[in-house]
Every structure is written in structure tokens, then in C-alpha cells.
Amino acid sequence: MLESAEDRLAALGITLPEASEPAAKYTNYVIVNGLMFVSGKGPAGNPRGKLGQRYTTEEGYQFARQTGIEVLAVLKSALGSLDHVKRVVKVQGFINADPEFSEPHKVLNGFSDLMLDVFGERGNHARSVLGASTLRDQLPLVVDSIFEVEQG
């Protein structure tokens, strides 16, 4: 069993992109008292559209996983190594969904599963998921998250 988050990431065959820039006037993250608050991120490539209309639950799951990779890129950029993450604390997902779409929780599993794959038990977290009538740039989902981190 791999202990290092960096080793787990490599074993998954994931190469992190450069951390994306904020879409407006805010910062990618703020660290306060050992907690890192990561601003809302969406999937790479800026897909547009609603779950339940343009995209299926399975496609949404992949978007959530891609969003997790975006968040991991921010963590690595800020901390130097994912091994400085002590715990994933809280994840909140906003799913751009048709009013009849009833599976936002299954979509956000893509993010949660990635956190568990990378951090093991430290990736287990509290979570909220909400359906939204619209999101910035019509992204299919946005996730914000909180991590307990070791500060250098």
C-alpha cells in the first residue's frame, strides 16, 4: 500500500497540470490556521451545459474527477507537495442541472473518489452537494474544498 499522496498520484498515471488562474477577482486559495480553503474550480477545457440535458451522470462523474485534478494542481502549486495535505476536510459541489436531474450526489462522487484514491483514509471528507440553475460560464459543475495542511 502506497502511503505518499505523490506516489499514489503517480500510480494512478495522473500528471497534474499547472494550477489554473482564478476566473475573476479572487485568489485560488487562502490558508488560515492550518486550513486551506480552495476557491471553486470546474473541469478542464471549460465544457458548458447542464447535467440531465447535455450531459449524463457518468459524464458528470468524469467532470468532477477532472475538477479534482484541477484542485490537486492548486494544492501542489501552493504547498510544493501533496504530501503536505494532512486531510481533506470538506467538499461542496454545485451541479449545473436540469430541475428534474436527481443524481448530483453521484456526479460529485467523481471528486470524492479521486480524493480517496490520492490521499487514502485522509481523503475521507464531509460533503455537501447542491443542484444549481446556473453556474459561471455555464460550467457543468463547480467544487470548492477545504484541506488541513502542514505549513512549511
Q: Is residue 13 part of a domain?
A: no
Q: What is the pLDDT of residue 46?
A: 84
Total domain count for the chain?
Answer: 1
Give per-residue pLDDT as tens, 52-86: 999 999 999 999 999 999 999 999 999 999 999 99
Domain region containing 81: 20-149
**Pair type for strands 126-132 and 85-96:** parallel
The torsion of the CA quartet 56, 58, 63, 65, rounded to 10 degrees, works out to: 160
Q: Is residue 4 part of a domain?
A: no
Q: Is residue 5 part of a domain?
A: no
Phi, psi torsion values for 103, nearest 5 degrees: -125, 35
Give residue 116's pLDDT band: very low, low, confident or very high (50, 70, 90): very high
Q: Is residue 3 part of a domain?
A: no
Q: Is residue 12 part of a domain?
A: no
Q: Is residue 30 part of a domain?
A: yes
Give residue 97's pLDDT band: very low, low, confident or very high (50, 70, 90): very high
Strands (DSSP E) found in 42-101: 85-96
Over range 7-27, report the average pLDDT: 92
Q: Report how far residue 109's alpha carbon sits from residue 114's, in angstroms, rounded to the nearest whole number.
A: 8
The pLDDT mean for the chain works out to 95
**Whole-prediction pTM:** 0.95
pLDDT value at 87 more than 50: yes
- Count of Cβ atoms closer than 10 Å to residue 53 Cβ: 12
Q: Report how far residue 102's alpha carbon sits from residue 143's, in angstroms, rounded to the nearest whole number.
A: 18
Evaluate the CA torsion angle 127, 128, 129, 132 in order and state its sign: negative
Over range 25-36, report the average pLDDT: 96
Residue 55's CATH number = 3.30.1330.40
